[in-house]
Amino acid sequence: MLIKNILIRQWRLFLIAGLLACSGLSFASVESYQFKSPQMEAEYNQLIGELRCLVCQNQNLSGSNADLAKDLRRQTHELLMEGNSPDQIADYMVARYGDFVLYRPPLQNNTLLLWLGPFVLLLVVIVLVFVKMRKKQVLVAPDQAAMKKAKQLLSEPQEK
Amino acid sequence: MRFILPLGAFILMVGLLGFGLTLDPKKIPSPLIGKPAPEFSLNKLYAPNEMLSKKDLLGQVWVLNVWASWCVSCRAEHVFITDLASRNLVKIVGLDYKDQPEDARRWLKQFGNPYSASLMDIDGRVGIDWGVYGVPETFVIGKDGNIKYKHIGPVTKESLEEEVIPVIKALLG
Amino acid sequence: MIPEIGNFALIIALFLSVVQTVFPLAGASLGISRWVALAKPAALTQLLFVAISYACLTWAFLQHDFSVLYVASNSNTELPIIYLISGVWGAHEGSLLLWVLILALWTGAVATFSANVPPVMRARVLGVMGFVSFGFLLFILLTSNPFDRLFPAVLEGRDLNPLLQDVGLAIHPPMLYIGYVGFSVAFAFSIAALISGQVDSAWARWARPWTNIAWLFLTIGIALGSWWAYYELGWGGWWFWDPVENASFMPWLMGTALMHSLAITEKRGTFKAWTALLAIFAFSLSLLGTFLVRSGVLTSVHAFASDPDRGVFILAFLVIVVGGSLALYSWRAPSLKSAAQTNLLSREMALLFNNIFLTVATAAILLGTLYPIAIDAMGSKISVGPPYFNFVFLSITAPLGILIGIGMLIRWRKDTTQNLFSRVKYPAIAALIVAFLISLTLPQWIWSAFAGLAMSLWIGVTAVIAVHERFKGKPIMVGLRATPSGFYGMILGHIGIAVFIVGITLTSLYSQEKDLRMAPGDIYSIAGYNFQFNGVKKEDIKNYVSTRGHFTVTSQADDFRVELTPEKRIYRVQQSPMTEAAIDAGFTRDLFIALGEPLDDKGSWAIRIYYKPFIRWIWLGAIIMALGGFFAASDRRYRQESRSTKGKKLELNSGVVV
């Protein structure tokens, strides 16, 4: 029982140890990697901006100095230097860590609602507004016809 | 009629959040379950001239335990790993993650060595291939060389008896 | 002793909040004027006791009373006084007490400064706010009491998180809370209006200044957080779409929509249901933010607490307050329909579309923030980060930028396409041409930079035209005095957005960064500046060891020269490293240097250098917007009310209620 309590607390310790290393309490780590071209460097910067540090409290690889983040940055650099494309590197990471490692959620069945939802909502609401406007205009018209008729009747000389 | 939409959406959201309270956003399941274990080939800690690779372990069920001498919860887990080893069900291979051989030997001497073989992953590359993101982690690999189960965090008495051992027994047939 | 007084004062405040809720609300519905009259004294007395409680906690910090667990966890004897004071709100329990204090202050202000609001409505408003106070006070007393004791008391407390030992960050929570909590006023007014079935739009007029003030503080709070993240965290970014950041941004978006909707409802008496709903949304999102930050449901660097038990309480509270108000809305809002029609081509319509775009943008952010939970519920894990939010948010708000300009030129009630087109075409052409010319001067042509510049020029030019039209034909002094400050509020608000757009466009697209190895004497050039590294110097400071890098930065174009000294600190006690970047801030660009790691024993270091063009414009835009909010709130029309409606008050008093 006691050991179980210790373990439960240790589990948090294990996480805390990892988390403490993250940029919550310190600063982004700086490496001085060399690249084959400015384009590769730009690809590197984009990749480490979009890959997630798994042991951190919501940070990308660029902003974290956790050990795992350093290792994954090194891995990213090596893969780029070996000639892999950013997409291939993203696939590499996903194969090992799952979709969780990407800050750009892939477009797949379970993210259709995510990517399309806001636009569909916007479209639907705008269409509804226009439809409502037309309904109100349709209501107005007969009134106007009736008004005209009424005016006409009123302007006729009264009989009696 | 449309006035009730915000309330409806809110109820859905609250249901989701309520359920979310029961989840643990920090546990990341492995995408490698059911997929082949990564290839590896490393020198054994206690027999530096020999190597151990994935193909040496094909055809049997085995366990990979990722640990480190600097990891506090590994110490707490160790008694259960030793327990598992004592049941003689499967071989347990220890992967010492981001550690130094000297520290590993010292730790194993002090706390006991349940591993049939110990491998060093000094720079963490092997860990990356296995999707390791913290220590300890424990994998169960089947006869076909596929990863069948991953346990994140220290193995406890409950998880040993209720998850790890049943999985191993089921794979042994 | 003092902590006991603080705790006891909270309990008294809890009882007072019950009085403040039950009697006025019941009295308003049953027509018991003595109960209705209890609202103001109950509110002011509750404020007194919450203030006493807060003062007791502050006193415990100042006196280093480490027998109080919260004080021991968040301060020590070395901490400077300013951080003792700000440490009070540095962690979960204390920040909740600050929340409740600010709510009590807002309630007291509403109780004191609403002489022109009929007593029945005011009673309902204070009653609703009283219920919110009740919920938070109960939450504190049951789950998060800052006065809990530590036995045995320690001799020395832990340190306040070093990241929080910073003036900018210290003041960020109070600013945010004044904003979040301030939206409870508009919320309470809209609930009161829904309960009473009040068909007129007077409640919109009363709610406006409170909402503007809340909004301006929230703007400042968010800007402070962004600015702090930029100079402290060192990856050159200023917004990460972190769940907690989103938790502050969503109420801001709804607050912006609410301000616009209140304006129409006051002026034209239309969109009452929209305004009521937006008020509910804005405050609900504030409450949701409280839940997200403290329940552990989402992972965030900002998370105050990760406690599912506390989460359950807050969620239950959310269900009662938000669920209750939305249920009330679905029941009563149909009766708020106005007879007036809105033409498609009118300012009212433009404002309606403004609110639609803001609401859909907010819904998108909410979707992205909560989506990982939904996916987790279905068995897998994903992350939704800046790539998603940037794409979706910018796509939705791009049309909105165009609409802002149209909104400032289009006529109220009814405009024609011809008229509108004739007024719109010259500003549009001017914006496109000037944006084109400016884009040519930039290092490279980027289409989205051109679009961003065109958008902000469009907003700027239309604002200038709006001013011109206002003053047309009048001598300046007459025009100035005749123009209500609310108009300047609008102009400043929109110019603030334009400035903000310039900032984010140019900094996102033209920033340059480099991580590299530098040995003493090395020079690296970036964006027309030469950065020369002159080595590091080590120094022992009181509670940390400081390593400072020395850089000389010169410009290739003129004789600009500056010495920058980025620093690395290792705090002795915690052994944790902290990096202080060196920034040369400028109106048109920031130069940013950070020390990485030493690379060899010959003095080479890994260095990070950033060139960030126009990044200050982001926060400058926010400040201008906040200034606009201030002008809007200080419109003398609101202050004149009390004199002109004094006579009317008697009539409204007699007609009680339903």
Share of chain C above pLDDT 90, in %: 71
pLDDT at residue C658, rounded to an integer: 27
- Partners of B77 on chain A (C-beta within 8 Å) are 7
Residue with the bigger pLDDT between C414 and C100: it is C100
Dump the DSSP string for C456-504.
Answer: HHHHHHHHHHHHHHHHTTS-HHHHHHHS-HHHHHHHHHHHHHHHHHHHH
Residues β-bridged to residue B151: B138
C63 is written with which tokens? 């006196």
* Whether the predicted pLDDT of A2 surpasses 50: no
Q: Say yes or no for a CB contact (<8 Å) between B73 and A75.
A: no
pTM score, two decimals? 0.91
Same domain, A146 and A98: no
Rounded Cα–Cα distance for residues C617 and A142 (Å): 54
pLDDT at residue A18, rounded to an integer: 39
Q: Say yes or no for a CB contact (<8 Å) between A75 and B125.
A: yes
pLDDT at residue B70, rounded to an integer: 93
* Mean pLDDT of the residues in chain C: 90
Choice among B55-64, B84-93, C341-350 with the minimum mean pLDDT: C341-350
Share of chain C above pLDDT 70, in %: 96
Q: Which chains touch B (3 or more CB pairs under 8 A)?
A: A, C
pLDDT single digits (tens) C18-54: 999 999 999 999 999 999 999 999 999 999 999 999 9
Q: Say yes or no for a CB contact (<8 Å) between C333 and B3.
A: yes
pLDDT single digits (tens) B21-43: 988 878 889 999 999 999 999 98
pLDDT at residue A144, rounded to an integer: 67
Rounded Cα–Cα distance for residues C301 and A22 (Å): 9
> What sign for the dihedral angle of Cα B92, B93, B95, B96?
positive
pLDDT at residue A143, rounded to an integer: 62
Across the beta sheet with C605-613, the strand order is C512-518, C605-613, C589-598, C582-584
Query: How many interface pairs between A and B have CB atoms less than 8 angstroms apart?
Result: 73
* Whether the predicted pLDDT of C150 surpasses 50: yes
Residue with the bigger pLDDT between C304 and C105: it is C105
User: Mean per-residue pLDDT for C230-248?
Assistant: 90
Backbone angles phi, psi at B67, to 5 degrees: -145, 180
Choice among C79-93, C211-225, C385-399, C450-464 with the minimum mean pLDDT: C79-93
Q: Say yes or no for a CB contact (<8 Å) between C323 and B10.
A: yes
Long-range contact pairs involving A30-34 (C-beta distance under 8 Å, separation at least 24): A30/C515, A30/C594, A30/C595, A30/C596, A30/C597, A30/C606, A30/C607, A30/C608, A31/A70, A31/A73, A31/A74, A31/A77, A31/C515, A31/C596, A31/C606, A32/C515, A32/C516, A32/C517, A32/C596, A32/C599, A32/C606, A32/C607, A33/A77, A33/C515
The architecture that CATH gives domain C512-614 is Sandwich (2.60)
Closest partner residue to C297 among B10, B17, B28, by Cβ? B17
Residue C221 in contact with residue C165, Cβ under 8 Å? no
CA distance A30 to chain C (A): 5
pLDDT at residue A17, rounded to an integer: 38
Closest partner residue to A122 among C396, C578, C581, by Cβ? C396
Q: Is C377 on the interface with B (CB under 8 A)?
A: yes
Backbone angles phi, psi at B62, to 5 degrees: -145, 165
Q: Is C368 on the interface with A (CB under 8 A)?
A: yes
Q: Which chains touch A (3 or more CB pairs under 8 A)?
A: B, C
Q: Which residue of C has its CA nearest to B28?
A: C381
What is the count of structural domains for chain A? 2
Nearest to A97 by CA among B127, C567, C337, B106: B127
- Partners of B81 on chain A (C-beta within 8 Å) are none
Q: Say yes or no for a CB contact (<8 Å) between A11 and B32.
A: no
Confidence of residue A140 (pLDDT cuts 50, 70, 90): low
- Partners of A18 on chain B (C-beta within 8 Å) are 134
Same domain, A71 and A147: no
Closest partner residue to A11 among B28, B125, B153, by Cβ? B153
Residue B94 in contact with residue B117, Cβ under 8 Å? yes
* Whether the predicted pLDDT of C645 surpasses 50: no
Same domain, A48 and A25: yes
User: Mean per-residue pLDDT for C218-242?
Assistant: 91
Q: Is C330 on the interface with A (CB under 8 A)?
A: no
Q: Say yes or no for a CB contact (<8 Å) between C329 and B16.
A: no
ipTM of the prediction? 0.91
Q: Say yes or no for a CB contact (<8 Å) between A121 and C356.
A: no
User: Mean per-residue pLDDT for B2-15?
Assistant: 93
Q: Say yes or no for a CB contact (<8 Å) between A96 and B130.
A: yes
Residue with the bigger pLDDT between C574 and C180: it is C180
Across the beta sheet with B62-67, the strand order is B117-121, B91-97, B62-67, B137-141, B147-152
In a domain, A2, yes or no: no
Of A87, A106, A125, the domain-final residue: A106
Q: Say yes or no for a CB contact (<8 Å) between B125 and A98.
A: no
CA distance B170 to chain C (A): 23
Confidence of residue C334 (pLDDT cuts 50, 70, 90): confident
Confidence of residue C300 (pLDDT cuts 50, 70, 90): confident
Closest partner residue to A118 among C161, C163, C364, by Cβ? C364
pLDDT at residue C601, rounded to an integer: 83
Residue C13 in contact with residue C49, Cβ under 8 Å? yes
- Partners of B16 on chain C (C-beta within 8 Å) are 370, 373-374, 377
pLDDT single digits (tens) C62-102: 999 999 999 999 988 888 899 999 999 988 999 999 999 99
pLDDT at residue A142, rounded to an integer: 57
**A131-144 in b/e burial notation, b at 16+ Cβ within 10 A?**
eeeeeeeeeeeeee
Q: Say yes or no for a CB contact (<8 Å) between C308 and B3.
A: no
Q: What is the 3-state secondary structure (H, E, C) of C385-453?
A: CHHHHHHHHHHHHHHHHHHHHHHHHCCCCCCCHHHHHHHHHHHHHHHHHHHHHHHHHCCCCCHHHHHHH
Confidence of residue A139 (pLDDT cuts 50, 70, 90): low
Closest partner residue to B98 among A3, A11, A67, by Cβ? A67
Choice among C14-18, C70-74, C152-156, C573-577 with the minimum mean pLDDT: C573-577
Of A106, A124, A145, the domain-final residue: A106
Same domain, A95 and A27: yes
* Whether the predicted pLDDT of C614 surpasses 60: yes
Residue C410 in contact with residue C346, Cβ under 8 Å? yes
pLDDT at residue A29, rounded to an integer: 74
In a domain, A3, yes or no: no
Q: Say yes or no for a CB contact (<8 Å) between A30 and C608.
A: yes
pLDDT single digits (tens) C512-527: 999 999 999 999 999 9
Q: Say yes or no for a CB contact (<8 Å) between A33 and C371.
A: no
In a domain, A60, yes or no: yes
Closest partner residue to C382 among A27, A45, A99, by Cβ? A99
* Whether the predicted pLDDT of A9 surpasses 50: no
Closest partner residue to B156 among A7, A71, A72, by Cβ? A7
pLDDT at residue B128, rounded to an integer: 95
- Partners of C333 on chain B (C-beta within 8 Å) are 3
Q: Which of B27, B98, B133, B152 is the mutation pick for testing A, counting most A CBs within 10 A?
A: B133
| Residue-range domains of chain B with CATH | 26-172 (3.40.30.10)
Of A106, A132, A148, the domain-final residue: A106
Choice among C166-175, C194-203, C335-344, C411-420 with the minimum mean pLDDT: C335-344
Q: What is the 3-state secondary structure (H, E, C) of C218-245?
A: HHHHHHHHHHHHHHHHCCCCCCCCCHHH
List the domain range (segments joined by +) for residue A101: 9-106
By three-state DSSP, how is residue C619 classified? helix
Dump the DSSP string for B65-118.
Answer: EEE-TT-HHHHHHHHHHHHHHHTTSSEEEEEEES--HHHHHHHHHHH----SEE
Report the CATH number that the domain containing residue A26 is assigned in CATH.
1.10.8.640
pLDDT single digits (tens) A26-56: 466 788 899 999 999 999 999 999 999 999 9
**What CA–CA distances, in Å, run from C552 to C97, C119, C315, C513, C561?**
47, 66, 54, 17, 7
Q: Say yes or no for a CB contact (<8 Å) between C297 and B22.
A: no
- Partners of A63 on chain C (C-beta within 8 Å) are 233-235, 237
Same domain, A50 and A77: yes
Q: How many residues does chain C have?
A: 658
Q: Is C336 on the interface with B (CB under 8 A)?
A: no
Q: Say yes or no for a CB contact (<8 Å) between B76 and A6.
A: yes
pLDDT at residue A138, rounded to an integer: 67
Residue C96 in contact with residue C136, Cβ under 8 Å? yes
Same domain, A54 and A82: yes
Rounded to 5°, angle at Cα C4 from C1 and C10:
145
Residue C184 in contact with residue C286, Cβ under 8 Å? yes
Same domain, A101 and A77: yes
pLDDT at residue C638, rounded to an integer: 67
Residues 46-105 of A with CB under 8 A from B: 54-55, 67-68, 71-72, 75, 94-100
Q: Which of C341, C382, C395, C531 is the mutation pick for testing A, counting most A CBs within 10 A?
A: C382
Choice among C101-105, C431-435, C595-599 with the minimum mean pLDDT: C595-599
User: Mean per-residue pLDDT for C325-346?
Assistant: 86
CA distance A97 to chain B (A): 5
Same domain, A63 and A98: yes
C232 is written with which tokens? 């402290």
Confidence of residue A20 (pLDDT cuts 50, 70, 90): very low
pLDDT at residue A141, rounded to an integer: 57
* Whether the predicted pLDDT of C299 surpasses 60: yes
